[in-house]
Amino acid sequence: MSTAEHEKGAVRETPDRYGAFPRLTPEQLEDLSAHGERRRTAEGEVLYREGEPFREFLVILSGTVEILSDQGGPDERTVAVHGPGRFLGELGLLEGQAAFNTAVVREAGEILAVPVERQRALVGSDPVLGDLILRAYLGRRYLLIGLGAGFRILGSCYSRDTLRLREFAARNRLPHRWVDLERDKEAEALLRRFAIRPEETPVVLWQGERLLRNPSNAELARLIGLPAPAPSAENERCEVMVIGAGPAGLAAAVYGASDGLTTVTVDAVATGGQAATSSRIENYLGFPSGISGGELIERAVLQAHKFGARLMVPAEVSALTPQDDEYIVTFTDGSRARAGAVVLASGVRYRRLEVPGIDLLEGISVYYAATVHEAGLCRADPVAVVGGGNSAGQAALFLAQHASEVHLLVRGSDLNADMSRYLVDQVEQHPKIEVLLHTEVRCVAGKEKLESLTVEDNASHERRELQAAALFVFIGARPRTEWLKGVLALDERGFVLTGADAGAVADTNRWASLGRDPMLLETTLPGVFAAGDVRSGSVKRVASATGEGAMAIRLVHEHRERKGNLATVGPEGRRPEAGGPVSSR
């Protein structure tokens, strides 16, 4: 939209085609009025600015407001224009992040301003209004990501630190744009403008003035307002520390906090785990039309905040030490926290594909996740997906929306062996997906990015070359438990032993003093539980992970009741009767 159009007042409201810009009903406006104040606006007034925290939830009563990305910068663009009945803001308002755009009044009028904390409470207490706002904010966040709004990451496609920052931004669903030092024409101009030497890259740029040279993930988190304070001091104590913020960890956070336990959840990279990278989960109970992993996780994060759980990202744990019937949790930055009970929900990481030539292409055109970020780099080229499980099937269907062709490479002879039937049907019927059974990758080729790969039929041993601009790998996973070796018992693959399996190898003297064996999800350490994919023998499904996260909190209550080492009150704040049930809601 041009400046001349602004001056003439020719500002048209953006139509609501995707549910991102709904209009509140008169009844909803009346309900909100009881929690805020009316305020007159002036033409040109800035209601909130990119990079600054949200302080108010704003509803337009009259006049119009334009939402701008990179206001005043060389890439300024209009994101949307809103009129009476619409509300402003996006997902960052609910999650405590900085604004990723700027709101400017174009036609003077009146707004309703509700303090952010009060609005967050309303979202949790009014399911209809809360769902309307959450869906709109999710839609706006994905719109901003698609526009490349937010901060810029300037770095080489060959830099591991560039890959680290891009992965952190993508996994946390943060609006940003990558400026490739090797290929983008604007890179040289930005280097000159900010006097950046190539060896100082990658750098993060925001609002044309904020510049971070090769920041850590924590520094980037602080820039955009992610809840990443330093972990609690050692003399500060929480009742439950949840390590990992995937579905299991978030479920534990929700149930722990809702039961009145002081609950802290930490994750080294992002909330959501592998589930957040799923384009659509169609077999999760209660969502018959499916739900994206990102939306499911955002809902869980807001729910955890609603009940008072603390979420810290990034915060990586390096050690767990028993001390006086409690545990000292040590973080990689050297800080420590005390916890009465611990829930291990650190999940798994995808296994790497070990073939010649792949090392130089990882993160450039070989990926272990298929999000909007990676899909946007395909640019209508053919791609290949390796794997025969649900993750591979979901990735193939998602990538088929962007790529010209998807080669699904499956080592086995039957797609039904490891993939759910509903996914098999969709994959086999999709015109853009070619399924190649009993097929394995033998090598990849490409100088600066992937150009082709050699595959072999493991039955006939016949080899062929496939053209592909990107390779997505989903060949199983390994647990994130290296830091637990020697602390508690793991199985031969590194997964955490629990229940009867833990009891079989546990220190009998330690457990004899308690007068009990490890409970169902309890490890060889009393009061330390494992939930989700990190647990030995777990079912690798989102639904089972959330169930185990909730169950872990129920067992935390039993541990507290039986041992009495933390407190002698139940989740309702009363002393539980001996042998009586403790509600986990």
Averaged pLDDT for residues 522-534: 97
Position 563 scores a pLDDT of: 67
Helix pair angle (293-306, 247-258), 10° resolution: 20
3-class secondary structure, 221 = helix
Whole-number CA gyration radius for the chain: 25
Q: Band of the pLDDT at 8, cuts 50, 70, 90?
A: very low
Q: Band of the pLDDT at 226, cuts 50, 70, 90?
A: confident
Cβ-count burial 530-546 (b if 16+ within 10 Å, e if not): bbbbbbbebebbbebbb
Residue closest to 455 by CA, chosen among 397, 380, 386, 392: 386
Q: Above 60 in pLDDT, residue 229?
A: no
Q: Band of the pLDDT at 292, cuts 50, 70, 90?
A: confident
Position 315 scores a pLDDT of: 92
User: Average pLDDT, whole number, for the chain?
Assistant: 89
Averaged pLDDT for residues 18-23: 93
- DSSP code per residue over 413-474: S-GGGTS-HHHHHHHHH-TTEEEESSEEEEEEE-SSS--EEEEEETTT--EEEEE-SEEEE-
List, for residues 159-217, the tens digit of each pLDDT value: 889 989 998 998 898 999 999 898 888 898 899 988 998 889 999 999 877 899 999 99
Tell me how far apart the alpha carbons of residues 56 and 33 are, in angstroms, rounded to a whole number. 13
Q: Above 70 in pLDDT, residue 360?
A: yes
Q: Give the tokens for residue 262.
A: 């002081």
Amino acid 524 reads T
List, for residues 376-427, the tens digit of each pLDDT value: 777 789 999 999 999 899 999 999 999 999 999 999 999 999 999 999 999 9
Residue partners of 584: CB distance under 8 A and separation at least 6: 255, 259, 550, 553, 554, 557, 571
Q: Above 80 in pLDDT, residue 330?
A: yes
Position 277 scores a pLDDT of: 78
Residue closest to 107 by CA, chosen among 208, 207, 13, 192: 13
Per the CB < 8 A criterion, the answer to whether 327 and 148 are in contact is: no
Maximum average pLDDT range among 174-178, 293-297, 555-559: 555-559
For residue 106, CA distances in Å to 73, 81, 399, 488 come to 19, 9, 40, 61
DSSP run (H or E) holding 144: helix 127-147
- DSSP code per residue over 57-126: EEEEEEEEEEEEESTTSTT-EEEEEE-TT-B---HHHHHTPBPSSEEEEEEEEEEEEEEHHHHHHHHHH-
Q: Above 80 in pLDDT, residue 373?
A: no
Q: Above 60 in pLDDT, residue 569?
A: no
Q: Band of the pLDDT at 570, cuts 50, 70, 90?
A: very low
Tell me how far apart the alpha carbons of residues 464 and 461 are, in angstroms, rounded to a whole number. 10
Per the CB < 8 A criterion, the answer to whether 416 and 437 are in contact is: no
Supply φ then ψ for residue 103, to 5 degrees: -110, 120
Q: Could you tell me which residues are beta bridge partners of residue 348?
A: 479
Q: Above 60 in pLDDT, residue 470?
A: yes
Q: Band of the pLDDT at 67, cuts 50, 70, 90?
A: very high
Position 5 scores a pLDDT of: 43
Q: Above 90 in pLDDT, residue 489?
A: yes
- CA torsion through residues 547, 552, 555, 556, sign: negative
Q: Band of the pLDDT at 458, cuts 50, 70, 90?
A: very high
Residue partners of 192: CB distance under 8 A and separation at least 6: none
List, for residues 119-164, the tens digit of each pLDDT value: 888 887 888 998 899 889 989 998 998 888 999 999 997 788 998 9
Tell me how far apart the alpha carbons of residues 90 and 100 are, in angstroms, rounded to a whole number. 8
Tell me how far apart the alpha carbons of residues 237 and 224 are, in angstroms, rounded to a whole number. 27
List, for residues 239-276, the tens digit of each pLDDT value: 999 999 999 999 999 999 999 999 999 999 999 988 88
Q: Above 80 in pLDDT, residue 565?
A: no
Percent of the chain with pLDDT over 70: 93
